[in-house]
Amino acid sequence: MRSTAYLLVGLVLILLQGVVFRFLPWVSGVSLLGVELRPLLTGITPNLVLPMVVYLGIHEDSMARGALLSFGLGWELDLLGGGPAFIHRFTLVAVWWLSKIASSRVSTQSVVMRLPLAFAASLAESAIILTLLAIFGQDSKRPLELSALLLPRAISTTLLAPAVFDLSHRLAIFAWGGPSRAPANVGSGTVGGQGR
Amino acid sequence: MSFYRRYRDIFLVILLLAVPFFFLRASIRNPEDLNVIDRTLMRVMAPVQFLAAASARRLSQWFSDYVYLVDVRRDNNRLSREVQRLRHDVRQLAQVEAENERLRGLLGLKESLAVETVSAAITTKTPTEFFRVAQLAIDHGGARVLQNMPVIGPGGAVGLIRTVSGDSATVQLVADAGFGVDVVVPRTRARGFVRGIGDESKYTVKVEYVRRADEVEVGDLLVTSGVGCRFPEGIAVAKVTEVVKRDFGSYQAVIAEPTVDFSRLDSVLVVVGQVPGDCPRLESVGRNP
């Protein structure tokens, strides 16, 4: 039930991030404090599934489930998000693992503390993808060209991460059958499994 | 956590990393080569993706229309203000250009006159219905403007200073019934005396004492002769509009129209210096005959 919910919500998030670009033209026409946003918005399409994977890395105490969910989300991303097959399956599992390792070593008590983790995870994900493309790809210049999108993508992903964290938290509560059965400290950011 | 479960999880994670990595090389080199499961899943997901894209397109279109509409209204207001400002600027520029033209004319006139003058701006025209006078604000520059001093405009003689009060003065116009000046027709040297009629409906003067034998035609220009020591010689006064040659009498009747368009007059020159020739100073000159 919980896994299905995560996969379904992940699917919706992937569909959502696939249509974000449609809303950029009218956002990019806006200037903020006299600064045109258009040049700043190049490559800002966020990875909405990534914060969910980070959330799973922090809060999912079952390694098998966390890894399989990340794999499943990566699969969805491979199917719907474009790009070579298997690349997101690999990177999201890797990011999940890194998040799990990081969450056991650094504090992830609050959303503010988790944001740098989301930022780092996004950078790591992009770095892994670019490295894989550099190793296996036929065009060696492509990863260099795509590296310009690394930071904007990480920033946009980090900006939207709190919403995805909150969504994932609500999902966890829903999947547990209600807030009372959900991990009591999920919302506050501690590892869910440790509280039980 | 049991020993078996821990290693099972680690093994699973390694497997989930290794399997994609194993197929990654082939999929990166040939992205279009999908396995059966992927192809099936993509076929299943295609309608969902299409629906999401269509919904997003419609929503985005709606947002775009709204945002562009807001922009259009804002741009419209801004451009309307811009147009108003530019129209105002154009009007001001036209005024400045006209003033420039007028002042150029006045400057040319001033330089052509061999007599000292001061410039004055017209502040009011025809303040009363009985007397054709114009109120002047005089830029005297220390010059002393006195009664009966000649006033000249770009088109010719305007009139005479009637009253002076501080920096303002009234001018008796050429068309006023009390005005008179000795004139000559440059073409034939025929002489006459221009006198205002005082017709309220139009600016018209009559030319008296034009001898019947003198040749005067409609369109002839009448300029000051210098006689009377009031106006300098050669200032245009009027243009002949009607000539009535009588069979009897010594003079012919000539009607003329002042060369100065009083309705368009904005600036004038007041002759304050001594008129060249054997003339007494203006202070001692009385009214015209």
Which structure tokens are listed for A75? 């699969």
Q: At what angle do helices A63-80 and B3-29 cross, to 10 degrees?
A: 10
Q: Token match 């807030």: residue?
A: A179
Alpha-carbon gap, residue B262 to B203, rounded angstroms: 8
Residues A104, B52: Cα–Cα separation, whole Å: 38
- Between A38-52, B131-145, B174-188, the lowest mean confidence (pLDDT) is in B131-145
Chain B contact for A63 (CB, 8 A cutoff): yes
Q: Can you say whether the dihedral through the CA atoms of A128, A129, A133, A134 is positive or negative?
A: negative
Quick one: average pLDDT of B9-17? Answer: 87
**pLDDT for res B177:** 77
What average pLDDT does range A21-25 have in this prediction? 63
Q: Looking at CA atoms only, how far is residue A173 from chain B in angstroms?
A: 24
Question: Where does residue B197 rank: exposed (0-12), middle (13-18), buried (19+ CB within 10 A)?
Answer: middle
Q: CA B98 to CA B111: how far, in whole Å?
A: 20
Q: Return the SS3 of A93.
A: helix
How far apart CA A92 and CA B15 sit, in angstroms, is: 14
Provide the percentage of residues in chain A whose pLDDT is more than 70: 76
Q: How confident is the model at residue B256 (pLDDT cuts 50, 70, 90)?
A: very high
Q: Is A70 in the B-facing interface, judged by CB distances under 8 Å?
A: yes
- Would you place residue B284 in the very low, low, confident or very high pLDDT band (cuts 50, 70, 90)? very low
A22 contacts on B by Cβ (under 8 Å): 56-57, 59-60
- Residue percentage of chain A with pLDDT more than 90: 20
Neighbours of B166 (CB within 10 A): 8
Which pLDDT value is given to residue B82?
Answer: 92
Q: What is the pLDDT of residue B155?
A: 83
Is B48 near chain A, with CB under 8 Å?
yes
How far is residue B242's CA from residue A13's CA, in Å, rounded to a whole number?
Answer: 97
Q: What is the mean pLDDT of residues A54-62?
A: 87
Q: How many CB atoms lie within 10 A of CB B163?
A: 12
Nearest CB neighbour to B17, from listed A63, A87, A93? A93
Domains annotated on chain A, with CATH: 2-180 (1.10.1760)
Residue of B28, B62, B65 to mutate, interface with A, max A Cβ within 10 Å: B28
For residue B132, the model assigns a pLDDT of 55
Between residues A10 and A81, the one the model is more confident about: A10
Q: Which of A44, A53, A65 lies closest to A91, judged by CA?
A: A53
Q: Could you give the angle at which helices A2-19 and A150-175 cross, rounded to 10 degrees?
A: 150
Question: Which residue of chain B is at minimal alpha-carbon distance from A14?
Answer: B49
B111-148 b/e with 16+ CB inside 10 Å = b?
Answer: eebebebbbbebeeeeeeeeebbbbbebebeebebebe
Residues 5-34 of B with CB under 8 A from A: 8-10, 12-13, 16-17, 19-21, 23-25, 27-29, 31, 34
Contact B35 A85 (CB under 8 A): yes
| Spatial contact of B138 and B118, defined as CB atoms under 8 Å apart | yes
* Four-way CATH pick for B113-284: 3.90.180.10, 3.30.450.90, 3.40.640.10, 2.40.10.350: 2.40.10.350
Best B3, B7, B13, B72 member to test A by mutation, with max A CBs in 10 Å, is: B13
B42, A86: Cβ pair inside 8 Å? no
> Least CA distance to A74: which residue of chain B?
B20
* Test mutation, B11, B24, B57, chain A, max A CBs within 10 A: B24
Overall residue count recorded for chain A in this entry: 196
CB contact under 8 Å between A136 and B16, yes or no, is no
Give the model's pLDDT for residue A91: 92
Is B70 an interface residue toward A (CB < 8 Å)?
A: no
CB pairs under 8 A between A and B: 102
Tens of pLDDT along B107-148? 777 777 778 888 887 776 654 444 555 555 665 555 678 888
| pTM strictly above 0.90 | no
pLDDT per residue over A88-116, tens digit each? Answer: 899 999 999 999 988 888 777 777 788 88
Output the pLDDT for position B289: 38
Interface test with B, best of A14, A22, A77 (most B CBs within 10 A): A22
Lowest mean pLDDT among A155-159, B28-32, B74-78, B285-289: B285-289
Quote the minimal CA–CA distance from A19 to chain B in Å: 6
Output the furthest CA–CA distance in chain A (Å, rounded): 53
The pair phi, psi for residue B135, each rounded to 5°, is -85, 130
Residue type for B273, please?
Answer: G
Cα separation, B55 vs B60, in Å, equals 8
Confidence at residue A23, expressed as pLDDT on a 0 to 100 scale = 66
β-pairing verdict for B205-211 and B190-196: antiparallel
Mean of per-residue pLDDT scores for chain A = 78
The yes-or-no verdict on residue A134 having pLDDT over 70 is yes
CB contact under 8 A, B12 and A68: yes
Residue B41 structure tokens = 């899943």
B16, B59, B60 ranked by CB distance to A67: nearest: B16
Q: What is the pLDDT of residue A21?
A: 65
CA atoms of A185 and B40, how far apart (whole Å): 40
Which DSSP string corresponds to B164-222? EETTEEEEEETTSTT-EEEEEETTTTEEEEEEE---SSS--EEEEEEETTS---TT-EE
Determine the average pLDDT of the residues in B13-32: 82
On whether the CB atoms of residues A73 and A140 are closer than 8 A, the answer is: no
Q: Are the beta carbons of A136 and B25 separated by less than 8 Å?
A: yes
Quickly list H helices, A35-190: 49-59, 63-80, 87-103, 111-136, 142-146, 150-175
